[in-house]
Structure 1
Amino acid sequence: MTDTGAVLPWLVIRQDEGGNRYRVGRYATRAEAERVADRLDTRGRRQLYVVERVDRATT
C-alpha cells in the first residue's frame, strides 16, 4: 500500500543495455502499466520496458 491507501501492484521497469533496472512507475492495473510501457517503448531507444507484479509481502 502507498501512503494514500491505494494498492499499486504493477510496476513498469526500464532495463538498459548494461542490465541496469530502474522503476519507472507503479500502477493499479496491468492494463494501465502495459499502456505506459508501450508508450515509452515507441521512443526508439535501446531500452527494454517490462511490466511486473510485485508481491504484497515485499512492499
Structure 2
Amino acid sequence: MTDSGAVLPWLVIRQDDNGNCYRVGRYATEAEAQKIADSLDGRGHKQLYWVERIGRTAR
C-alpha cells in the first residue's frame, strides 16, 4: 500500500544497454502498466521494458 491507501502491485521495469534495471512506475492494474511499457517501448530507444507484479519474479 502507498500512503494514500491505494494498492499498486504492478511495476514497469526498464533495462538499459548495460543490463541495469530500474523501476519506472507502479500501477494498479496490469493493463495500465502494460500500456505505459508499450508506450515507452514504442519510442524507439534500445531499452527493454516489461511488467512485473510485486512479489513475483517474471524474469
Residues 10-30 of structure 1, C-alpha deviations (whole Å, 9 max, x = no match): 000010111101111000000
Q: Distance in 2 between matches of 1:19 and 1:3?
A: 31
How many residue pairs get aligned? The number is: 55
Residue equivalent to 1:2: 2
Structure 2 unpaired stretches of 5+: none
Work out the percentage of aligned pairs sharing the same amino acid.
Answer: 73
Show the counterpart of 2:49: 49
The alignment's TM-score, normalised by the length of structure 2, stands at 0.90
Q: Which has the higher helix share?
A: 1
Q: Secondary structure at the match of 1:49?
A: strand
* Structure 2 counterparts to residues 1-59 of structure 1, below 5 A: 1-55=1-55
SS where residue 2 of structure 1 aligns? coil
The alpha carbon displacement at 1:6 in A equals 0.4
Name structure 1 gaps, 5 residues minimum: none
User: How much does 1:32 deviate?
Assistant: 0.2
Moved over 6 A (4+): none
